[in-house]
Structure 1
Amino acid sequence: MDIDYALSALAAQATGVRETADVFWEIQPGVVAMRRDIHARYGGRRQGGIGPSRTTPNVLIFVNPERGRAHGYFDGWGDDGCFHYTGEGQLGDQQMTQGNLAILRHREQGRTLRLFRAVQEGVEYLGPFEVDPDRPWYTSEAPETGGGPLRTVIMFRLRPEGPVQPFDAPLPATPTAAGRVTSIPVEASNTEQYGMIGPEEPTTAFRREAALVQSYAEHLRSLGHEVCRKQIVPPNEMRPLFTDLYDATAGELIEAKGTSTREAIRMGIGQLLDYQRFIDPSPRLVLLVDSKPRPDLLHLCSTVDVSVVWKAGNDWQRNASLRLP
């Protein structure tokens, strides 16, 4: 390593000044190169998405919004002007260690974050970034690699530190302190199931739920009711929640389940209670199922003030909830 560079890098780490990073950076935003050539010049790990360099004051960050979803990485631009970047770690809850810690501490270590995007010809340099000083990161949920179980992931809020190469990669929703609730059409096919991102066909349960929702929505409309769905973005969360139905005329929030098993009933109750917190005025809760549940499960729903509706021939039957004192 050149002695002048070494002294400059040490001075930058000691003082928190990162001007030296730009002195040794020669690539302009929009330039495409092979990743191996980038590492040969600027250092950093050649595998994975985060490459802290030991030879230059940079942390190289690589994104592939299209392929990354298969590994639980949902990166993109938010409405807040930040690029939201998923930390490293494909299995289990992500931890603030190694590459993630390098991103978080890049200022105190005198490093600049350099963001690259995978393209057909190699990687495209997007520009210099820094973690947002006010809110550098938050946590969200995403599946493990290959569509595995949900786990906690670290989401960094990266703010451009100079000119950047524009590219289209919006987040589905930007976390805000207040949260948001909006009405969307019943026909919207949004789902909370992160695992359904590939070409797989919907499961039988999902098909049953979709048929139940459409049939009951048509029934309510025949009665002159106004129906929709609710998209809910909880405070400081990126992942939106989607209700199955909302009967605006009756003030009822409806969750559908394609089976009447105990597991499905318990899951539906939990979802209804979760959604109810965000809707004002507070709606009555209804669980929509394909057949009449067993007596014990009907009693369970009644004790938490959830009505149950099911199809019986051409008619809809309802088990009224038990209003608790």
Structure 2
Amino acid sequence: MTASAEVINPGDIRTRAQIRQVFGGSPQGGICPSKSKHSVNLYSDPDVGEQVGYYDGWLAEKDEMGAVFEYTGAGKSGDQTFGGTAGTGNRAILQHGEEGRVLRVFTRVGKVPGSDTKTHRYLGAFTLDSIEPYVWRRVHGEDGQERDVIVFRLRADGDVQHVEPDVIPPAEKTVGEFVPFQAVTTSMLQSDPATAGALPLPKQRVRKGSAPRKPAPNAETSGTFVVPEAFGTQMSIRAATAATVAIRHEAELTQAYKTHLDSAGHQTGAYQIRVKGLTSTLRADLYDATAHVLYEAKGSNSRKDVRMALGQILDYSRYVEMAEHDGEPQRVILLPAAPTPDMFTLLDRYDVGVVYRADDGRFVGDAVPSLNS
């Protein structure tokens, strides 16, 4: 570790005091915003994270946009939140683009020899994924209690350090686990200002000396029944792409249909899956625990989206195991409008049903429960 703190590059190791000289932030805490330095410093401690039920790090599985770094939000016990004092740090991450700040990630690596002063390795600058900025995940905390945490999905913003020790460990085995329905922060998130702002696009950053820019438009595998979070329904995301619009439509459609199922007295949630050998966590869009029906939603009824939904639901449904139901769940694709006749034929071949929203707003399909039942 060098003595100079004037410049910190990816891979450099510094104390928090030295980091503060360059990037600002508070002397303690995991999420440390700095207005003067246009930065939100994210400190990760692998030992602490594992104790409270999560891992921060790179996913081994890349997508078409490259690698994703997962960073779990603030809150070591109970459900994490964006609201109130407890959600201050999480809001700082979510709003970093609007406020012209760069996300900077550090991981603890040790201590200064002969002292208790911790040292941290700088991974680099990041920005929130513009399509899926965060997901909700069910984990087992240090006290053995299950809780919901916010997992932010970060994309590299320039040069970053991507090394094997920072990759999330893969799941060792596949285990299905039922978690009773819990009402968490859905209603608060839909009205909280934190979800009303624009999200940044990759490569948007504030460099030293420049004015801030306005934002651009578990060791085991587990399958978990959890409450869906409608983060996408109220966000104004400026990434003007068909994928972004589809994600927003998908979130709105899923929430609307979940409301219908709830009104019919059904117990609903999402279904979370970790698969042996994978570092990423899978999540089916909607699960009806009363009727044992698994849904995969899409924001359009295009051939491409129907085929994608078909593959996903055939994959996810293999892992859904509920003690009160025999066998795999009924598989249904949720769409904003009816697909073409040949897509119905394709889905019938694989015994996958369809629920879609009609022009008058009603949901149509064999799996749709009557509100009078």
Q: TM-score, normalised by structure 1?
A: 0.49
Q: TM-score, normalised by structure 2?
A: 0.43
| Larger gyration radius, structure 1 or structure 2 | 1
